[in-house]
Amino acid sequence: MHTDHRYIEALRRNDERSIREIYREYSTQALRWVVARGGTPDDARDFFQEALMAVFEKAQQPDFVLTCPLGALLHVIYSRKWIDSLRQKGRDTEVRNVEERRYNLEVSDDVLTVAEDALAEQSRQDRLARAFAQLSDLCRQLLTLLSNGAAPKEAAATLQMNSVDTLYRRKNACTERWRAVFLEL
């Protein structure tokens, strides 16, 4: 376990004081990196925040343990996000320049693996969120109630359903719809 694993716990706990420490330690590096490539401080803020969110998604795996420095991990993630944003804007020459330099960076395989996992998990969660947003109000309300631990009887009463059986049938249909939209995205 790397000593920076404490920051993973901080993200899991949403511990503002420790999160502030993460910003104190690593935000300037991100700011300089993004600004040096033509971005703005606001761009740097957004990419850094999204990098932290990606690490958070990875940290949702209960058995995840950080084995590399957080600074290196964040750097790989926000630089990938920066490259993706350039690609989306069609700035291919800049993409090539940044990527060439990227391959010259000394980053361990461990950092790259964790970064890729984190980005993949974030993308998966984003797809789930987009699919969830396409469900009806009733479906979203029902699934949220049950996810937050409401008893089925209580949820049925809240949603003015006649019985728990009706609630389950509706839940199954909502889940199937959600799954289908998710797999199409």
Partner 1 sequence: MSEQDIALLDDYFNGLLNTDAARAVEARAASETAFGEEFALRREMQAFPRRAAERAALRGTLSTVSQDFFQEKDLRQSPMTARVSRMRWLAAAASLALVAVAVWLFTNTGGPTYRQFAQHDAPSFTVRGVADEAASDAEKAFAEKNYAAALTAIDRLLAVQADDPTALLYKGICLIELDRTAEARALLAPMADGNTALRAEARWYVALSYLKEKNPPACRAELLKVTAGESRYMPAQELIKSLRAGD
Beta-carbon count within 10 A of 95 CB = 18
Q: How far apart are CA 73 and CA 161, in angstroms?
A: 48
**Of 8, 72, 77, 156, the one binding partner 1 by CB under 8 A:** 72
Near partner 1 by CB under 8 A: residue from 31, 76, 115, 118? 31
Query: CB under 8 A: which stretch of 18-26, 77-85, 87-95, 109-117 binds partner 1?
Result: 18-26
How many Cβ atoms are within 10 Å of 104's Cβ, its own excluded?
Answer: 6
Nearest-approach distance from CB 6 to partner 1, in angstroms: 6
Nearest alpha carbon to residue 48 among 66, 62, 35:
35
Residue 14 beta carbon to partner 1: minimum distance, rounded to whole angstroms: 5
Is the CB of 60 or the CB of 92 nearer to partner 1?
60
Length of the chain: 185
Closer to partner 1 by CB, 84 or 126: give it.
Answer: 126
Q: Round to whole Å and give the CA distance between 94 and 83.
A: 8
**Burial label, 74 (beta-carbon count in 10 A; 0-12, 13-18, 19+):** buried
Is 64 a binder of partner 1 (CB under 8 A)?
A: no
Q: Phi-psi region for residue 90, left (φ > 0), alpha (ψ -120 to 50) or beta?
A: left
Tell me how far apart the terminal alpha carbons of the chain are, to the nearest angstrom: 36
Q: Where are the beta strands (DSSP E) in the chain?
A: none
List the one residue from 37, 64, 67, 69 that touches partner 1 (CB under 8 A). 69
14 belongs to the binding site for partner 1 (CB under 8 A): yes
Contact 111, 79 (CB under 8 A): no
Interacting residues with partner 1 between 77 and 116 (CB under 8 A): none
> Judged by CB, which is closer to partner 1: 55, or 95?
55
Q: According to CB under 8 A, which one of 105, 120, 129, 185 is a site residue for partner 1?
A: 129
Q: Which residues contact partner 1 (rule: CB under 8 A)?
A: 2-4, 6, 11, 14, 16-21, 23-25, 27-28, 31-32, 35, 41-42, 44-45, 48-49, 52-53, 56, 60, 69-72, 125, 128-129, 132, 140, 143-144, 146-149, 152, 168, 171-172, 175-176, 178-179, 182
